[in-house]
Amino acid sequence: MALRRVLVTAPLAVLVALTAHVAGFGGDHVLGGVHAAGLLALGVGGSILLAILALGWVGLTETDAGRAERALRAMLPARGGIFPAALVLGVSGSIVFACGELLEGHLPPVTLGSLLAITASAVVIAAVARGLARWLAAGGVALASLIPLARRPSAAPARAAERADALLAPPSQARGARRGRAPPHSA
Confidence (pLDDT) at 148: 64
Give domain status of residue 20, yes or no.
Answer: yes
Residue 168 has pLDDT above 70, yes or no: no
What is the pLDDT, as a whole number, of residue 1? Answer: 46
Q: Average pLDDT in the 56-66 region?
A: 89
Measured CA to CA in angstroms, residue 54 lies from 8, 13, 68, 170, 187 at distances of: 11, 18, 10, 45, 74
Q: What is the DSSP letter of 27?
A: T
How many Cα atoms sit within 13 Å of 165 on the Cβ side? 7
Q: What pLDDT score does 63 carry?
A: 85
Whether 76 has a pLDDT exceeding 50, the answer reads yes
CA distance 60 to 31: 37
Query: In this structure, is residue 182 part of a structural domain?
Result: no
Whether 176 maps to a domain, the answer reads no
Asked, for residue 151, whether it belongs to a domain, the answer is: yes
Q: Whole-model pTM?
A: 0.72
| Full DSSP string of 79-125 | GG-HHHHHHHHHHHHHHHHHHHHHHHTSPPP--HHHHHHHHHHHHHH
Those residues whose C-beta lies under 8 Å from the C-beta of residue 140, and which sit 6 or more positions away, are: 54, 55, 56, 57, 58, 59, 62, 68
Q: Is residue 16 part of a domain?
A: yes
Range of the domain at 98: 2-168
20-34, 79-93, 112-126, 133-147 — which is least confidently predicted?
Answer: 20-34
More confident position, 2 or 177: 2
- Please check whether residue 121 lies inside any domain of the structure: yes
Q: What domain count does the chain have?
A: 1
**pLDDT at position 45:** 92
Question: What pLDDT sits at residue 137?
Answer: 94
In a domain, 181, yes or no: no
